[in-house]
Amino acid sequence: MEGLSSLVLGLGLFFLGMQLVGENLRRLSGRSFRHVMQRVSTRPALAALAGVGFGALMQSATAVTFVLAGMQRSGLATTHGAAPVILWCNVGLTALVFLATLDIHPLVAYFTGAAGILSALIRQSLWRSAAGGLLGVGLILFGLQSMSAGAAPLKSEIWFQTLMSGAVSSAPIAFAVGILAAAILQSNTGAAMLIITLASAGEFDTAQAGLLIYGTNLGAIGLRFLLSMNLDSASKRLVRFEDTFCVWTGVVMIILTFAELLGTPGPISLAMLIAPDSTELQLAVLFLLSNLLPAVLLAPFTGKVIDVLKRLIPESGEEAFAKPQFINETAVTDPGTAADLVLQESARLVGSLRFEASAPVYDANGESCANPAFITLATAIERFLSRVSTHNRLRDEEAHAIHLLRSELGVIRYLEEAVREVNEHLYRIKESAPDQKLVAPMVTSLNELLALAKECAKQPTTKCVAAFRGASCKNHPNILPVRTEMLATSKTLPEKATAKVSAFSDSCDLAIWMFHRLAKVLDRYASETHTQ
């Protein structure tokens, strides 16, 4: 069973090499990938080139897709801008297969040993990752060499012949085995290299191996589905776009295969024409064509596919709120317009708040968490203001207006925390109907302040802001008498209820103080920008 031991050893080295290549090359290319994406996301041709390059580097379409999904959530990439990169990265990841077809087997041992030594000796993270990636490539090549050597003596074994012939007994089975191999390896590139190695040992002919390779693109769909379950709708669309491309490759290549069986020249004929004397190179060409041809056919319709996915995977109400409706890149170079748009978005933030009993959500440290949609929109506004500041030579009054808008945003963030605390106390009071009735007038007054705050944040005129500033004073007739009566009545309740109402009152004081702080900032903005 010497052949089997060599095959198992080769498989182990191959798996280890794939892992090292993936981890180290992603570590090397991750930061550059983000930097390049910010530059090319609006230029499809450059996005396609970037996709090919980073597909070759990262060796995982799934990894590229999820990095782009993260960038999309952070506002650093758009869905339409990221789609061409995902499409063409599938073409780029075929580069490793071509590298494996090179006749460098005599140098593999030296290459692997040298890369391993360098990986152990180098301490700088950049060079260590590069050495680790090279070590991974060496182990892949060494593993493929061992598998090829181990498969040769196994050809005479009945069980091995039965296994291999069963895998390609029909076109659907061969296609399904390709899917299964990629699903097990979690890499269509790795599955393709394994198939090519067995074919070069004489286990499959080019047509049989081609069907196996065509199925490999679909192998990672299941994993991506699981990994994307908790993503937002926009990120899911990118993942489903990659899945759509993989299914599309299967459809295109199956159609071309049947056309070829009927006598029409196709990918197999082209691969044999390009490399008539090398089965390995023929199959590498087939792997390239199985990604390149579908990409070329799908590229003109990328935007339409994304539009269809938008209809199939609509945004939830919170996701729609988190997406800015007013601020946009075209306003970055116009500080006056930018300021007006920020006011609209800030009003949306204030309008999303509501004083009502709600169960708190806690983080790992036991602290209550803000609504993720609120955080996302607030962060988008903050980044927009930063871009306005850095892209323009602001006059003093413009710079001061941007400063006041940032101050307003900061106060709104603190106001959200205060509202959250009030709502938490309301939730604790909710279990007692008399207590709820007691605090209801105060809740009504606070929600009226919220409505006034939203109106002033949207259009901070001097008249509106003056009314808001007066209404947010703790001695205002809508607040002080209500609070006084609430506390006086609570003293007639059981001690536990009195404590809850008192804690609620303290949280209301904080919220009212934050309203007053917001009114002061808006007052300065209205007076210093001469808003009438």
In tens, the pLDDT along 409-418 reads 999 999 999 9
Per-residue model confidence (pLDDT) at position 38: 61
d(CA 417, CA 511): 9
Q: Which tens digits make up the pLDDT trace of 298-336? A: 999 998 999 999 889 887 777 778 788 888 777 888 888
3-state DSSP call for residue 362? strand
Q: How far is CA 64 from CA 67, 241, 295, 303, 329, in A?
A: 5, 12, 16, 19, 25
Instruction: Please give the residue that has the higher pLDDT: either 476 or 205.
Output: 476
Exposure string (b/e) for 357-378, b if CB count within 10 Å is 16 or more?
Answer: beeeeeeeeeeeeebebbebbb
Q: Are 528 and 408 in contact (CB under 8 A)?
A: no
Torsion 194-197-201-204 (CA) sign: positive
Q: How far is CA 357 from CA 124, 236, 317, 417, 510, in A?
A: 54, 32, 20, 14, 17
Per-residue model confidence (pLDDT) at position 17: 73
Rounded mean pLDDT of 142-158? 62
Residues near 489 by beta carbon (within 8 Å), at least 6 away in sequence: 438
Per-residue model confidence (pLDDT) at position 381: 92
Rounded mean pLDDT of 512-520? 94
| Element holding 333 (H helix, E strand) | none
Q: Which tens digits make up the pLDDT trace of 127-143? A: 677 777 777 777 777 77
d(CA 32, CA 72): 16
pLDDT over 80 (residue 421): yes
CB atoms within 10 A of CB 333: 12
d(CA 527, CA 532): 8
Contacts 24+ apart (CB under 8 A), 432-438: 432/497, 434/493, 434/497, 435/493, 435/497, 435/500, 435/501, 436/357, 438/486, 438/489, 438/490, 438/493, 438/501
Q: Are 106 and 87 in contact (CB under 8 A)?
A: no
Selection from 144-148, 156-160, 257-261, 340-344 with the highest mean pLDDT: 340-344
d(CA 274, CA 2): 36
State the Rg of the chain over Cα.
31
Per-residue model confidence (pLDDT) at position 429: 85
| Element holding 9 (H helix, E strand) | helix 2-40
Per-residue model confidence (pLDDT) at position 314: 84
pLDDT over 80 (residue 155): no
Q: Are 100 and 140 in contact (CB under 8 A)?
A: yes
3-state DSSP call for residue 399? helix
Name the token pair of 517: 């702080």
Q: Which tens digits make up the pLDDT trace of 369-416? A: 888 888 888 998 998 899 888 887 888 888 888 999 999 999 999 999
Sort 233 into a burial class: Cβ within 10 Å, 0-12 / 13-18 / 19+: middle
State the average pLDDT for the chain. Answer: 81
Per-residue model confidence (pLDDT) at position 151: 56
Per-residue model confidence (pLDDT) at position 113: 76
Look at the block and give the residue holding tokens 């090179």.
Answer: 102
Q: Which tens digits make up the pLDDT trace of 465-489? A: 999 999 998 888 889 999 898 888 8
Instruction: Please give the residue that has the higher pLDDT: either 48 or 430.
Output: 48
Residues near 404 by beta carbon (within 8 Å), at least 6 away in sequence: 521, 524, 525, 528, 529
Q: Are 442 and 508 in contact (CB under 8 A)?
A: yes
pLDDT over 60 (residue 226): yes
d(CA 325, CA 423): 27
Sort 46 into a burial class: Cβ within 10 Å, 0-12 / 13-18 / 19+: middle
Which residues is 368 bridged to in the sheet? 362
d(CA 389, CA 400): 11
Per-residue model confidence (pLDDT) at position 428: 86
Q: Which tens digits make up the pLDDT trace of 19-45? A: 776 666 666 555 566 666 666 666 778
| Band of pLDDT at residue 9, cut at 50, 70 and 90 | confident
Instruction: Please give the residue that has the higher pLDDT: either 431 or 520.
Output: 520
Q: Which DSSP category does 93 fall into?
A: T
In order of their start, the domains of the chain are 2-312 (no CATH), 318-528 (1.20.58)
Per-residue model confidence (pLDDT) at position 437: 82
For 97-155, strand residue ranges (E) read none
pLDDT over 70 (residue 164): no
Per-residue model confidence (pLDDT) at position 31: 55
pTM of the model: 0.64
